[in-house]
């Protein structure tokens, strides 16, 4: 290694290069592997998550647009190289980064796709430097966008098929400027009609519309509340929206609202558009206030004035007001509970190495191992599929090897990813199938026409309305979406897990025919005997499982039904370190 001449780095608070949004260990790893001659080795990483926010039944995958733009513009500047030298990176590595361009492949779910735990959101295939150094930015981008878009679908009622008009009001409570901008974008994807954030509209266009009227300070500035209302209406006669709770909603705000609307009618008698459009309340008992205001406005002959609510709202508070208190709001402003996803503020996406490409073009699977086989990641270069029933609804997601083909109208045998599932193996015949990952970047070049925000909003709404089981969308105790593996993926995973735990591995496979239907016990997850004295039968399999687990093994039961042939397969997997005298 050449001697590094270090010139002290001068900090610059105004400097910004997204490529340097990197956890330092990514540089130390890349530099080490580079110096050991692996710079041209191609790695495959999967980005996925293990739990839906708030333990709900689904998530929305978002952030692909920003991630794509990041990869297309990926580069290092002289200032970056200068700093890296001061941090002990080798001269050879620094010179390599000086002209480095990202030339990898990014496959991802289309932005706005309904997503489920363990199913890849993004698959990266790139030289090791490009694959390793993008981890932090990729996770930061996908995690945050997905978190806010998912929350927004619940706040806007898309998940319960009761869409409501919601404005994103959380910029001032966001965790920094970028969170305010990206959060506004993601909230609109999830169904919001606008944002309070001006910069968001400047960045993303009119589809992320900036909205808003006045604060309490504006009302307080004038001698009277009516003076404030009149000043605003004279300035913006076509978009009069007022705030009623600065002093007293019913005794001051409401009378002045009616007085102002009468003033506009007198001033613009032939222009019905120049009337009070809406009134917002931001404190007190919102549900009760809405009913009293609606009744009073209707009695005054002003049913066209809409009511808006804000103040610490989220999806549960809104639903409770609507369902149990019969609140009459036309729209809502939702702030900190949306922009921070306050009820569950972390989307736990991870980025894991799953394969290394060999010189002959094959892929060697890799696995981060765990003490629990059920929590071990799924190795190999894979492609997830979504399988649909005759009603067009998603029955399950299926994780397959990248070269496997799943066909509609043909039986598909799958292994449930949940090791505690009663029926671990199942065969279905899907009406329609869809590959979930699509190429966004190939060899460093854009490979997709990025859809508009309006198209992505419509895509999300269509999935939640037409393609997702309602039981997965409910707020309480949602159904867990089925995520399965092909037998090839399941075998690769179990064998690698056994090998990584050290020891000789062998399988005992027993196959037999059967008739009728096999019923599994809910607690033991083992078959139940059909004989009358069932308690005295079926002990063999239970004992086999007990013995296998005693020696770090397990059993797997696979049922296959190919029409006139029903097969019961019992696989005993044994592994463990063998000690020698």
pLDDT tens for the 581 residues of the chain, in order: 555 567 899 999 999 999 999 999 999 999 999 999 999 999 999 999 999 999 999 999 999 999 999 999 999 999 999 999 999 999 999 999 999 999 999 999 999 999 999 999 999 999 999 999 999 999 999 999 999 999 999 999 999 999 999 999 999 999 999 999 999 999 999 999 999 999 999 999 999 999 999 999 999 999 999 999 999 999 999 999 999 999 999 999 999 999 999 999 999 999 999 999 999 999 999 999 999 999 999 999 999 999 999 999 999 999 999 999 999 899 999 999 999 999 999 999 999 999 999 999 999 999 987 665 556 799 999 999 999 999 999 999 999 999 999 999 999 999 998 876 777 889 999 999 999 999 999 999 999 999 999 999 999 999 999 999 999 999 899 999 999 999 999 999 988 887 787 655 566 778 888 887 888 776 677 788 777 665 666 567 888 888 877 665 778 787 777 666 787 878 887 655 444 33
Q: What angle do CA 417, 132, 386 make, to 5 degrees?
A: 30
The pair of three-digit structure tokens given for residue 521, joined into one six-digit string: 């016990």
Q: What is the pLDDT of residues 352-399, one digit of tens each?
A: 999 999 999 999 999 987 665 556 799 999 999 999 999 999 999 999
Instruction: Give percent of the chain with pLDDT exceeding 70.
Output: 92
Distance CA(247)–CA(386), nearest Å, equals 55
**On the CB side of 493, how many CA atoms lie within 13 Å of its CA?**
25
pLDDT in tens, 497-548: 877 876 555 667 788 888 878 887 766 777 887 776 656 665 678 888 888 7
Which structure tokens are listed for 74? 């990926």
Predicted model pTM? 0.88
Of 490, 495, 520, 491, which is closest to residue 398 (Cα–Cα)? 490
Q: Note the pLDDT of residue 457.
A: 98
Scan for tokens 């690698």, then name that residue: 496
Burial class (CB in 10 A: 0-12, 13-18, 19+), 101: exposed
């Amino acid at each position: 290694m050449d001697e590094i001449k270090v010139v002290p780095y001068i900090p610059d608070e105004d400097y910004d290069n997204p490529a340097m949004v990197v956890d330092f260990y990514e540089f130390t790893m890349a530099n080490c592997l580079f110096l050991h001659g692996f710079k041209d080795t191609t790695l495959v990483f999967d980005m996925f998550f293990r739990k839906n926010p708030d333990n709900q039944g689904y998530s929305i995958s978002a952030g692909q647009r920003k991630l794509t733009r990041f990869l297309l513009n990926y580069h290092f500047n002289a200032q970056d190289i200068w700093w890296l030298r001061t941090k002990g990176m080798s001269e050879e590595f620094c010179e390599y980064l000086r002209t480095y361009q990202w030339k990898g492949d990014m496959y991802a779910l289309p932005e706005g796709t309904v997503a489920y735990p363990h199913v890849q959101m993004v698959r990266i295939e790139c030289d090791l430097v490009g694959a390793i150094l993008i981890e932090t930015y990729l996770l930061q981008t996908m995690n945050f966008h997905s978190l806010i878009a998912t929350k927004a679908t619940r706040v806007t009622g898309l998940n319960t098929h009761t869409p409501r008009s919601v404005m994103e009001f959380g910029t001032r409570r966001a965790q920094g400027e970028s969170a305010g901008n990206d959060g506004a974008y993601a909230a609109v994807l999830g169904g919001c009609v606008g944002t309070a954030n001006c910069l968001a509209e400047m960045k993303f266009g009119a589809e992320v519309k900036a909205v808003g009227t006045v604060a309490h300070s504006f009302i307080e500035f004038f001698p009277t509340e009516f003076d404030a209302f009149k000043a605003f209406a004279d300035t913006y006669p076509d978009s009069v929206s007022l705030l009623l709770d600065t002093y007293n909603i019913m005794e001051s705000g409401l009378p002045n609202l009616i007085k102002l609307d009468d003033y506009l009618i007198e001033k613009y008698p032939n222009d019905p558009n120049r009337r009070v459009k809406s009134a917002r309340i931001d404190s007190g008992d919102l549900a009760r206030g809405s009913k009293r205001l609606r009744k009073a406005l209707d009695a005054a002959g002003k049913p066209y004035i809409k009511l808006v609510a804000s103040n610490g709202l989220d999806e549960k508070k809104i639903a409770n007001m609507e369902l149990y208190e019969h609140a009459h709001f036309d729209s809502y402003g939702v702030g900190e509970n949306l922009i921070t996803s306050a009820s569950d503020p972390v989307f736990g996406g991870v980025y894991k190495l799953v394969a290394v490409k060999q010189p002959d073009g094959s892929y060697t699977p890799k696995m981060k191992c765990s003490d629990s086989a059920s929590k071990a990641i799924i190795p190999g270069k894979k492609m997830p599929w979504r399988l649909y029933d005759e009603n067009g609804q998603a029955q399950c997601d299926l994780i397959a090897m990248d070269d496997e083909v799943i066909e509609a109208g043909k039986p598909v045998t799958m292994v449930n990813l949940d090791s505690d599932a009663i029926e671990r193996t199942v065969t279905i015949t899907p009406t329609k199938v869809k590959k979930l990952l699509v190429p966004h970047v190939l060899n460093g070049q854009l490979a997709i026409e990025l859809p508009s925000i309006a198209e992505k909003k419509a895509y999300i709404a269509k999935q939640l309305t037409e393609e997702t089981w309602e039981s997965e969308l409910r707020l309480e105790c949602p159904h867990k979406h089925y995520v399965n593996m092909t037998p090839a993926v399941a075998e690769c995973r179990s064998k690698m897990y056994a090998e990584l735990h050290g020891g000789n591995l062998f399988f005992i496979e027993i196959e037999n025919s059967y008739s009728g239907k096999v019923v599994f016990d809910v607690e033991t997850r083992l078959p139940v005997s059909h004989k009358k004295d069932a308690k005295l039968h079926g002990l063999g399999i239970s004992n086999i499982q007990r013995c296998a687990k005693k020696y770090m093994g397990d059993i797997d039961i696979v049922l296959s039904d190919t029409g006139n042939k029903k097969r019961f397969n019992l696989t005993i997997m044994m592994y463990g370190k063998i000690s020698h005298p």
